[in-house]
Amino acid sequence: MTNKKYLKRWDSSLQNNYGKPSIALVKGKGIVVTDADGKTYLDFLGGIATSILGHAHPAIVKAVTTQISTLSHVSNFYAHPNAIELAEKLVAMTGDKNAKVFFCQSGAEANESALKLSRRTGKVRVVAAQGAFHGRTMGALSLTGQPSKREPFLPLIKGVKHVPYGDIDAMRKAISKKTAMVIIEPIMGEAGVVVPPADYLQEVRKLCDKNGSLLVIDAVQTGMGRTGDWFGYEYSGITPDVITLAKGLGGGLPLGAMIALGKAADLFQAGDHGSTFGGNPVTTAAGLAAIKFIETQDILQKVEKKGLYLMQELALIPGVKEARGAGLLIGIELESLKASEVSDAMREAGVLVNAANGTTIRIAPALIVTDAQINKFISTFRKVITGAK
């Protein structure tokens, strides 16, 4: 089977919601993936910030195979040690020993859960950011601040106001005592790796306190060590009321979580919410294995260093306007080249990245990416964009 044959079959059997994929991937090891024609690529997108330990990592493979050959599913009628242990880990990572976790499968579901949780405050209004991405289901889409994704599906949930990201005056005007929750990404990933002013989260926290509104940090993309911290907001010193996670949480398997802190931890009552696969033994085994590996190998510290090096080197390349982000979530803003064309040329040159918007290339490699792989990425990127000019 070749790429061409797979893509033809994809085209006739899968819906067109993603547009047409360029290649079919069939194998991966570490941060190298192989397509159906046998060509290999350095995976600098990591399944969109998801495969935090790369592909076929021995720690994940072992945890998953052990678990799936022992007990693959229990449903939410029963407890399972993996879900409990992973929840305890996440609670400890928040620094709030009273925090509590709800498990689901995806980022959209995690944000849906946060939205439902906020209704239990007795209020319904929400403030979110323009350009933000919080998912595609109807509730999550109501939070998402991207008109092109929303407009075909109006009407969405009422009472959600979108304000310019990073603009604290706009937030002050939008929030009121009637606001149930404010949802913010610590760095906007899908919008093109947009970093807010340094004191933004702190100021938003103050406004939420003043108005009795929940502060929901959507760490779906920035979480699980991506920025060099566990959840992406820690640099700000705030404590959120809710943290949503997915992407990297399952170490490449589908796992999401909505963590509620402080008083928010007890807002849901029995029967309020659920998910058949939530806290599945296999996906939580993978999540636990990923966290333990990151902890024992001291990966977070290395992530920050690697990210600073990447940003510094990328910014020096002619044709690059700016390299921004935190840790291994980086947006490379191009001076004049089209991001989609650069992404295609990089793939031709054997490196996977994506065009987050018209002028920004996004990279989010596995946290275990080596210095040699980083240097290879930088030299390929330099060649591609200087050669293309």
Ligand X SMILES: *Cc1c(COP(=O)(O)O)cnc(C)c1O
- Interacting residues of 75 by C-beta distance below 8 A, sequence separation 6+: 276
Tell me the number of residues near ligand X by CB under 6 A.
15
Half-sphere exposure at residue 68, Cβ-oriented, CA atoms within 13 angstroms:
10
| Pairing of the two strands 360-363 and 329-334 | antiparallel
Contact status: 331 vs ligand X (CB under 6 A): no
Rg from Cα positions in the chain: 21
Measured from the CB atom, the residue of 94 and 222 that comes closer to ligand X is 222
Q: How far is the CB of 1 from ligand X (least distance, A)?
A: 27
Half-sphere exposure at residue 174, Cβ-oriented, CA atoms within 13 angstroms:
23
Q: Residue 3: which of 25, 28, 20 has the closest Cα?
A: 25
Contact status: 45 vs ligand X (CB under 6 A): no
- Which member of 218, 229, 241, 313 binds ligand X (CB under 6 A)? 218
Cα dihedral: 373, 375, 379, 385 (round 10): 80
**Distances, alpha carbon 57 to alpha carbons 64, 236, 248, in Å:** 11, 32, 14
Site of tokens 């998912």: 135
Q: How far is the CB of 363 from ligand X (least distance, A)?
A: 14
- Which member of 135, 225, 281, 307 binds ligand X (CB under 6 A)? 135
Stretch that binds ligand X, among 1-9, 213-221, 266-274, 340-348 (CB under 6 A): 213-221
Contact status: 333 vs ligand X (CB under 6 A): no
Q: What is the distance between the alpha carbons of residues 144 and 159, in angstroms, rounded to a whole number? A: 13
Q: Residue 68: which of 293, 292, 287, 285 has the closest Cα?
A: 285
Binders in 168-207 for ligand X, by CB under 6 A: 185, 189-190
Q: How far is the CB of 109 from ligand X (least distance, A)?
A: 7
- Which member of 118, 221, 343, 380 binds ligand X (CB under 6 A)? 221
Measured from the CB atom, the residue of 320 and 363 that comes closer to ligand X is 363
Binders in 229-258 for ligand X, by CB under 6 A: 246-247
Q: What is the distance between the alpha carbons of residues 142 and 89, in angstroms, rounded to a whole number? A: 31
Q: How far is the CB of 256 from ligand X (least distance, A)?
A: 6
Contact 195, 162 (CB under 8 A): no
Measured from the CB atom, the residue of 190 and 313 that comes closer to ligand X is 190
DSSP secondary structure letter of residue 352: E
Contact status: 226 vs ligand X (CB under 6 A): no
Stretch that binds ligand X, among 66-74, 131-139, 155-163, 326-334 (CB under 6 A): 131-139
Contact status: 287 vs ligand X (CB under 6 A): no
- Residues of this chain that interact with ligand X (CB under 6 A) are 106-108, 111, 133-135, 185, 189-190, 218, 220-221, 246-247
